[in-house]
Amino acid sequence: MLPRVLLTPIARETLLAAVRQAAPREAIGLLGGVGDAAADHAGTAALRVTSFLAVANTSTAADTFVVPAATFAAAAATLRARGEILLGFAHSHPAGSAMPSLQDRRELWRDCLHLIVAGDGAGPADWCAFRLTSRGVEPLPLEVA
Ligand SMILES: [Zn+2]
């Protein structure tokens, strides 16, 4: 059974603030919390996202993101220092849908949680949680608290 994803209010607000700040460019950051995104779960086990840590998007294009390895490593270390696990990543599609783009399907890391927020963070947000595996995109049930 696919893991259910719970986005806590503090993680949601931090993420939406980063989306607003980055618009019209894409926001990107790390999702910290509890759980194992690669595992299948029986019953109601969940990935609990307790924080979002924004990182700088160094891409010059409007519809993509690039995160330098050193930036990622520093953010991952911050999560570890807080006692959180790196569950995956969130990014925004300011002018698109919440569905993973072709580039997302090609380039995003496998077997971790991905969260996409559609919109600029100012209005109602559309969300998509998924993981990429050898089987392709697996949408995960998402609960936004
Ligand atoms: Zn994308």
Print pLDDT tens along the chain (145 aa): 788 899 999 999 999 999 999 998 899 999 999 887 767 665 555 899 999 999 988 887 777 788 888 999 999 999 999 999 999 999 999 988 999 999 999 989 998 999 999 998 888 789 999 999 888 999 999 998 7
Centre of ligand 1 to C-alpha 22, Å, is: 14
HSE (CB half, 13 Å, CA atoms) of 52? 27
Domain count, the chain: 1
The pLDDT of residue 40 is: 66
H-state helical runs in 33-145: 69-81, 102-107
The CA distance from 29 to 89, in Å, is: 6
- Strand segments, DSSP code E, in the chain are 4-7, 28-34, 46-55, 85-93, 113-118, 126-133, 136-139, 142-144
CATH number (domain holding residue 13): 3.40.140.10
Residue ranges making up the domain that contains 67: 4-144
Centre of ligand 1 to C-alpha 92, Å, is: 7
The CA distance from 49 to 144, in Å, is: 10
Centre of ligand 1 to C-alpha 101, Å, is: 5
Centre of ligand 1 to C-alpha 69, Å, is: 19
Centre of ligand 1 to C-alpha 29, Å, is: 12
